[in-house]
Amino acid sequence: MDIKFWGVRGSIPSPGPDTSQFGGNTPCVEIRNENEPLIILDAGTGIRKLGLDIMQDKSVSEIHIFFSHTHWDHIQGLPFFLPLFSPKYTIKLYGPVHYSKNLEQILSQQMEYTYFPVRVQELAANLSFHDIAETDFCIGKEVKISTKYVNHPVVCLAYKIMVNGKSFIYATDHEPYRNLFADGNENDREEGRLVAQEQTDALIDFLDGVDTLCVDGQYTPKEYKSRVGWGHSSVDHSYQLGKESGAKEVILFHHDPDRTDADLQIILSDLQNRSWSPLSGTIPVRLAREQLVITL
């Protein structure tokens, strides 16, 4: 399994000389397995260059795009994905069921003439839309996929991709579960505590023993205190989540758009300095960057 990052930034694209090392495109991750359909996780602005790459590769004809959720930074690159405009490709799009609209309605709406010159109905590729929830299924011959809801202001899924005993989890746009009744009476506080712990335990079970965990790390611990409820984690929480679940490696993802390359290096070094200990069960941690390739 070859995993390639095409967009690693959160919220909004942030191109420029201060972000060139890690990249300024919003989320998009490519997964390739020999003789299997191409998998894409999210369609942020990074998917544009991925599309150009695919158009030069005669071996690709079937593409599966999995959306974690439909916030703008995770879908805004889709209209610029060139394979959509070619009848050569069969493209299947998957995403979580929304409160009031299904995936096809949401993605079609962003390509109405008001916003874009080509409508979904006018695309040449063979398209299909699939609303999914927490589930397990297979694509191709060897690829197994599992999904898990995570904590975000809109319905959001984490994806586990498993091939030949190796696993990669994409858990972007998640923040720690918390007691929503912390200010209530004693019974409500206890119930809220139990629910938060139950949800945390379920997520750790989903992540259990993963080879590579790609996880939201948009904030520093200090920043997170004033951003509770925004749907993103601190780097410390994400690293701890990796440790508790027995992940073999943590990749911090969804970098804040205001973060320069130098800022990111400082945050990573600080985390490594604070988390390393010969007795703490330290696991490798690094930052996602555009064009990074991981082979499992």
- Residue 288, classed as helix, strand or coil, is coil
Predicted local distance difference test score (pLDDT) of residue 99: 73
Q: Are 67 and 95 in contact (CB under 8 A)?
A: yes
What's residue 286's pLDDT? Answer: 95
Q: Give the chain's mean pLDDT.
A: 94
pLDDT band at 161 (very low <50, low <70, confident <90, very high): very high
**In which band, very low, low, confident or very high, does the pLDDT at 260 lie, cut at 50, 70 and 90?**
very high
CATH number at residue 150: 3.60.15.10
pLDDT at 277: 62
pLDDT value at residue 17 = 97
Residue 12's domain spans which residues? 2-295
Instruction: Give the residue-averaged pLDDT of 158-185.
Output: 92
Q: For residue 195, name the pLDDT band (cuts at 50, 70, 90).
A: confident
Which of the pair, 9 or 272, is modelled with greater confidence?
9
Percent of the chain residues past pLDDT 70, beyond the cut = 97
Place of tokens 């996880």: 215
pLDDT given for residue 294 in this prediction: 97
Give yes or no for residue 279 having a pLDDT over 60.
no
List pLDDT tens digits, range 47-76. Answer: 999 999 999 999 999 999 999 999 999 999
User: Confidence band (pLDDT; 50, 70, 90) for 184?
Assistant: confident
- Number of structural domains found in the chain: 1
- Give CA 68 to chain center in angstroms: 6
pLDDT at residue 185 is higher than 70: yes
Residue 248 pLDDT exceeds 90: yes
pLDDT greater than 70 at residue 160? yes
Percentage of the chain exceeding pLDDT 90 = 88
Start-end of H helices in the chain: 47-55, 103-109, 186-207, 221-224, 235-245, 261-275
The per-residue pLDDT for 131 is 95
> What length is written for the chain?
296
Grade residue 280 by pLDDT with cuts at 50, 70 and 90: low
Question: Cα 16–223–265 angle (5° rounding)?
Answer: 45
Average pLDDT over residues 25-36: 96
Q: Please, what's the b/e burial string for 122-143 (b: 16 or more CB within 10 A of its CB; e: otherwise)?
A: ebebebebeebeeeeeebeeeb
